[in-house]
């Protein structure tokens, strides 16, 4: 089932359940898809593009959440947390740090990376291989840890 078909079904369910967080999140994804389709580039939105788009929506909400928490705005932070939770349902299962460790060690070995100078090379390959399965911040911190310790 395509993402758009899944979204339509979920939108109807959210409307019937009067789930405002789900409605806002699903509508945000639908709007982003519509923008991608009508941006004039002529490129078709594939599954990787959909994942990247949803990750971008989550990241923007995460940034807002951080700001709201710093400013003590629990009401607005709660809204962002709800939307992030709904958006994450449309991403593939996220890998834990324990699952990422051996994969990243393999990439480091594969690229012959030995120091922080090789960080960019390792990150480039890691983000392609782990697209949608891991948060960039987490991947980056694990790679830094592995390169500095090993």
What are 82-140's pLDDT values in tens digits? Answer: 999 999 888 888 888 888 888 888 888 888 888 888 888 888 888 888 877 887 888 88
Same fold, 3-88 and 97-149: no
Q: Where are the domains of the chain?
A: 3-88, 97-149
Fold of the CATH domain 97-149 = Arc Repressor Mutant, subunit A (1.10.10)
Q: Helix 47-70 crosses helix 74-88 at what angle (to 10 degrees)?
A: 160
The whole-model pTM stands at 0.73
pLDDT tops 70 at residue 33: yes
Mean pLDDT rounded to a whole number for the chain: 87
- What is the CATH architecture assignment of 3-88? Orthogonal Bundle (1.10)
State the pLDDT at residue 100.
85
Q: Token pair for residue 6?
A: 């899944």
Give the model's confidence band at 150: pLDDT under 50 very low, under 70 low, under 90 confident, else very high.
low
């Amino acid at each position: 089932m395509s993402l758009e078909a899944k979204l339509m079904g979920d939108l109807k369910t959210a409307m019937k359940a009067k789930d405002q967080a789900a409605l806002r999140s699903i509508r945000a994804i639908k709007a982003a898809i519509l923008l991608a389709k009508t941006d004039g580039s002529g490129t078709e939105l594939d599954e990787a593009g959909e994942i990247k788009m949803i990750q971008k929506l989550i990241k923007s909400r995460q940034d807002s959440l951080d700001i709201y928490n710093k400013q003590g705005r629990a009401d607005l932070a709660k809204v962002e947390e709800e939307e992030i939770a709904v958006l994450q349902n449309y991403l593939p299962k996220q890998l834990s740090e324990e699952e990422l460790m051996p994969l990243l060690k393999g990439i480091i070995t594969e690229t012959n990376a030995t120091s922080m100078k090789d960080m960019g090379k390792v990150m480039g390959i890691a983000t392609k291989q782990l697209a949608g399965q891991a948060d960039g911040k987490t991947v980056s911190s694990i790679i830094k840890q592995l390169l500095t310790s090993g």
